[in-house]
Amino acid sequence: MHNPQSQQSVGGSFGGHVNTLQIIRDKQVDRYEIVPGKDPKFSDVILETPNCILSCKKVQGTINKHGEAYSLKWKEELGNGGNGEIWKVEFTSQSSLPREYAAKNTKTREDIYSQNIALNELRHECEILKQLDHAHIVKYMGFAEFQHDQISKRFVLLLEKCDGGDLLTMINDRHKIYSVYTVVYWAEQLFSALEYLRKGNFIHRDIKAENVLLSIKQFLSPNKIEYDVKLCDFAFTIRRENTTFFLMKTSEEFPKGTYASMSPEVYNCMVCHRSDIFCLGLVLWFLIERRKFYSCPSEWKTYQTAKQQEPSFVNCRDDLRNIIYDCTRKKFYNRAQDAEEVRHRLETILQQSALNLSPDLKATSTVSVQMDA
Ligand SMILES: Nc1ncnc2c1ncn2[C@@H]1O[C@H](COP(=O)(O)OP(=O)(O)OP(=O)(O)O)[C@@H](O)[C@H]1O
Ligand SMILES: [Mg+2]
């Protein structure tokens, strides 16, 4: 993208190199923000990427736009969802070690109407993430909104970067081996995030394996890694006075999510905290079974099947099977009541194995990589 007001490129080549961010001075940015205290090294810069500009407000005085050289590299694509492209960006200045972030950008759409829908969804996600602060929810770092051309605006959301990819990729990679203990360990973290959302009256509405990120906790050996998990993708999240149950009436509330992971009441324009419990129950089912719960040839068939059929029993120890069963009941009033109840049951399993009361469940939460012989 060419910007006539571009003035300077710092810390890297620019022009033909699409993988290098260009630092420019530009007065056209409408709104920008960086979270104070989260990264004091971010400065008053505006950054042009292959298809967007990222602006970060100066928060502390050590770097100013004339004094110090800094560079941002547009490194690689981390993910590509229905709405956004997520890229790894690396920030370096003279006084700091390189730091990496994830930048979610609105995709280029063919018409202004769908471009605006994408823009509003990302703005909305940003507003939601600003209100959240939990160890198992991806952290908001900043945003930039700017005029892209005469008619369209662009939005960039800056997030903490999670190094382990997403859970869908992990589940589908047959070289990655994890234990039932690891599933319970991750599940306890995810239900604690869900309980945090419930207490704040948020309903996520799009919980699925690809919206769970893996963050590396420690490398135990070259092929043994310990991960924590974090919820991401809050584009469809809503906040209401209470999350017990309500009918979706407005266009903002209109059923959203992913057919194969939607809870049955959402098809009837109803949603509640227990809809998220259902979706997280399906994630656990998928983590254990490592196959699709509905294998249908089309989205429409999936929709029809999911409305009528409950997921089958999972093949695992009784206490975990019962938890998943209680989370995935078709009628929401038959499901586990809240995330805290589920989290507590998961914690009990973890405690039992830590005390060696469950010898079949060895207390290690690692993922090992096994290559083909
Ligand atoms: N902070 C992050 N760190 C690392 N990878 C990320 C991060 N955020 C997102 N990703 C990757 O990008 C993918 C898409 O991100 P996200 O779900 O936010 O986009 P989306 O367009 O809203 O997706 P959807 O298709 O679900 O609507 C994720 O599944 C994950 O693989
Ligand atoms: Mg997603």
Nearest to 147 by CA among 45, 28, 37: 28
User: For the segment 79-100, what is each residue's pLDDT rounded down to a tens digit?
Assistant: 887 777 898 877 665 555 677 8
Nearest to 75 by CA among 88, 94, 56: 88
CA distance 369 to 373: 12
pLDDT score recorded for residue 278: 94
- Contacts of 7 by beta carbon, 8 Å cutoff, 6+ apart: 24, 25
204 CB under 6 A from ligand 1?
no
User: For the segment 351-364, what is each residue's pLDDT rounded down to a tens digit?
Assistant: 988 887 777 777 77
Residue type (1 letter), 251: S
Residues in the chain: 373
Average pLDDT taken over every residue of the chain = 76
49 against 336, higher pLDDT: 336
On the question of pLDDT at 323 being above 70, the answer is yes
On the question of pLDDT at 338 being above 60, the answer is yes
Q: Which ligand is nearest to the CA of 215?
A: 1
Grade residue 187 by pLDDT with cuts at 50, 70 and 90.
Answer: very high
pLDDT score recorded for residue 20: 30
371 against 34, higher pLDDT: 371
Burial of 61 (0-12, 13-18, 19+ CB in 10 A): exposed
pLDDT score recorded for residue 95: 55
Which whole-number Å values give the CA distances from 331 to 141, 308, 325, 328, 337, in the listed order? 38, 11, 12, 9, 12
Which whole-number Å values give the CA distances from 234 to 143, 162, 258, 261, 339, in the listed order? 15, 16, 13, 15, 18
User: For the segment 110-123, what is each residue's pLDDT rounded down to a tens digit?
Assistant: 788 888 888 888 99
222 against 62, higher pLDDT: 222
Ligand 2 centroid to residue 343 C-alpha, Å: 24
Q: Which CATH architecture has domain 167-369?
A: Orthogonal Bundle (1.10)
Domain 4-159 class in CATH: alpha beta
CA distance 371 to 258: 32
Annotated binding site for ATP: 104
Grade residue 203 by pLDDT with cuts at 50, 70 and 90.
Answer: very high
Q: 144-158, 278-292, 322-336 — which is least confidently predicted?
A: 144-158
User: For the segment 19-70, what is each residue's pLDDT rounded down to a tens digit?
Assistant: 233 333 333 334 444 443 344 333 334 444 433 444 443 322 222 333 344 4
Mean pLDDT of 258-274: 83
pTM: 0.83
167 CB under 6 A from ligand 1?
no
In which residue ranges of the chain is CATH 1.10.510.10 found?
167-369
Query: What phi and psi, each to the nearest 5 degrees, are found at residue 317?
Result: -55, 150
pLDDT score recorded for residue 171: 96
Tell the residue number behind the tokens 């800094």, with chain if given: 70
Q: How many CB atoms lie within 10 A of CB 73?
A: 18
- Contacts of 43 by beta carbon, 8 Å cutoff, 6+ apart: 56, 58, 63, 64, 65, 68, 70, 93
81 CB under 6 A from ligand 1?
yes
Percent of the chain with pLDDT over 70: 72
In which residue ranges of the chain is CATH 3.30.200.20 found?
4-159
pLDDT score recorded for residue 158: 82
Ligand 2 centroid to residue 160 C-alpha, Å: 15
166 CB under 6 A from ligand 1?
yes
Nearest CA to ligand 1 atom 10: 79
Provide the b/e sequence for 85-99 (b: ≥16 CB within 10 Å). bbbbbbbbbeebeee
Grade residue 109 by pLDDT with cuts at 50, 70 and 90.
Answer: confident
On the question of pLDDT at 16 being above 50, the answer is no
Grade residue 300 by pLDDT with cuts at 50, 70 and 90.
Answer: confident
**Distance in Å from the first CA to the final CA of the chain:** 47
Ligand 2 centroid to residue 59 C-alpha, Å: 30
Atom of ligand 1 nearest to the CA of 163: 4
On the question of pLDDT at 15 being above 60, the answer is no
